[in-house]
Amino acid sequence: MPGRPTVEKDRGEAQINPTKRTVLEVQNLSINYISEGKPPARAVENVSFTLKEGELIGLVGESGCGKTTLMLSLLRLLPSAGQIVDGKVFFNGKDLTTISEKELNKIRWKEISIVFQGAMNALNPVRTVGDQIAEAITKHMPDFPKDKIQGRVIELLDLVGIAADHKEHYPHQYSGGMRQRAMIAMALACNPQVIIADEPTTALDVMIQAQILELLDNLRKKLGLAIVFVTHDLGVVAEICDKVLVMYGGVTAEYADVDTIYNSARHPYTQELLKAFPDLTKPKKKLSSIPGYPPRLDALPDGCRFAPRCPVAIARCHTEQPMLHKLGDMHIASCHLVEASK
């Protein structure tokens, strides 16, 4: 019965596989936004994660917690106020924070590409979607044979489930779900190894969201893509991710494989987020919310950034920032209480 979740065997396993090659390794990355006359805003602090071939990682956190900032920094696409102040980003062994612009341009779009947040609403309204995809191909691959471009556009549209005859249509003739598919097609234009999708389903309804999740899941199986899926919705990533990074106010709250995050989370923020979720197996249960609001970057608390909202905070939490504690091979949480119970 669909009302009651049933365990489906062949879809349940996460893909964490130690023998797979690491493609992206982010180490202790910190990013500040600098504005004159003000102290730097510490938008991202000491965040690390790794991504292997064919793996799908979920990056989850409330609005303003630094998800987009972190993703843009990986390809050094931050606005000029945003500066990487510490950390490294290794892609196939190369540190993207130090290589030249010229070298980085060989990686942008060709190896790692981003589906930008809200970009589906920024398609040019007076040009056909097919034209815009063709332009993405020529812009990133000037040597691409001209006579093969239209064929490639059709191939890309097909990959994301859009029939070829929609090529000549304008963005307003596309629904929201189709526009998002077109954005994914553009990101795939140069056959990248990694796709970063920043909130690709946030504005879409649940059925279209399910379609996009299915599409991304199929693409990684078919093309061996590694995917970073950015969302504020912890439920969405449970469906397809292998591991999850939960961010709070610019820092890592918890980082673990998907099963650990949903069944043995140790950070109070992760635990509270899970409780805020409607559970259809208990429809009468009142939802729990997390009172208060995320910290403002210009007025960060002295201790743990979550302490002012944390239901189990102790005195120390308000004065001292917690470190990242390793709780297992693939499990990290930044909480003083975790350390105490270790």
Partner 1 sequence: MSKENFLEVRGLKKYFDAGRPALFSRESRFVHAVDDVSFNLRRSEVIALVGESGCGKSTLSLLLMGLEEPTEGTISFEGRDITHLNDKERKGLRRKIQMIFQDPYESLNPTQTIEEIINEPLLVHGIAPDKSERDERVKKAMEDAGLKPAEVYLYRFPHELSGGQRQRVVIAAALVLEPEILLADEPVSMLDVSIRAEIINLLAELRITRQIAVIFITHDLGSVGFFADRVAVMYLGRIVEIGTMLEVLEKPQHPYTKALLSVIPVPNPRLRRERIILQGETPNPIDVPSGCRFHPRCPVAISTCKHSDPPSITLSKTHQASCLLLVK
Q: Which residues contribute to the site for partner 1 (CB under 8 A)?
A: 1-8, 11-12, 14, 62-63, 175-178, 204-211, 214, 232-236, 238-239, 258-259, 262-263, 272-274, 276-280, 283-291, 293
Residue 173 binds ligand ATP, judged by CB under 6 A: no
- Could you give the string, one character per residue 101-140, with x where binding to Mg ion holds by CB under 5 A and - elsewhere? ----------------x-----------------------
Q: What's 278's DSSP letter?
A: -
Report the partner that residue 298 touches, choosing among Mg ion, ligand ATP, partner 1, none (CB closer than 5 to 8 A by kind).
Answer: none
**CA 160 from centroid of its chain's CA atoms:** 19
Burial class (CB in 10 A: 0-12, 13-18, 19+), 146: exposed
Residue 297 binds ligand ATP, judged by CB under 6 A: yes
Residue 81 binds ligand ATP, judged by CB under 6 A: yes
Which residue number has the CB closest to Mg ion?
68
Question: Tokens in use for 162?
Answer: 């859009």
Residue 231 binds Mg ion, judged by CB under 5 A: no
- Site size for ligand ATP (CB under 6 A): 17
Give buried/exposed letters for 116-144 (b at 16+ CB in 10 A, else e): bbebbeebeeeebbbebbbbbbeebbeeb
Burial class (CB in 10 A: 0-12, 13-18, 19+), 327: buried
Yes or no: say if 91 and 193 are a contact pair by the CB < 8 Å rule: no
Report the partner that residue 300 touches, choosing among ligand ATP, Mg ion, partner 1, none (CB closer than 5 to 8 A by kind).
Answer: none
Residue 79 binds ligand ATP, judged by CB under 6 A: yes
Upper half-sphere CA count for residue 274 (Cβ side, 13 Å): 17
Compute the least distance from the CB of residue 329 to partner 1, in Å.
18
- Could you give the string, one character per residue 27-66, with x where binding to ligand ATP holds by CB under 6 A and - elsewhere? ------x-------x-x-----------------x-xxxx
Q: Which is nearer to Mg ion, 117 or 128 (CB)?
A: 117
Collect all residues with Cβ–Cβ distance below 8 Å to 221 and sequence separation of at least 6.
Answer: 54
Residue 117 binds ligand ATP, judged by CB under 6 A: yes
Q: What's 330's DSSP letter?
A: T
Yes or no: say if 160 and 182 are a contact pair by the CB < 8 Å rule: yes
Yes or no: say if 331 and 49 are a contact pair by the CB < 8 Å rule: no
Q: What's 98's DSSP letter?
A: T
Compute the least distance from the CB of residue 339 to partner 1, in Å.
25
Residues contributing to the site for Mg ion (CB under 5 A): 67-68, 117
Residues contributing to the site for ligand ATP (CB under 6 A): 33, 41, 43, 61, 63-69, 79, 81-82, 117, 232, 297
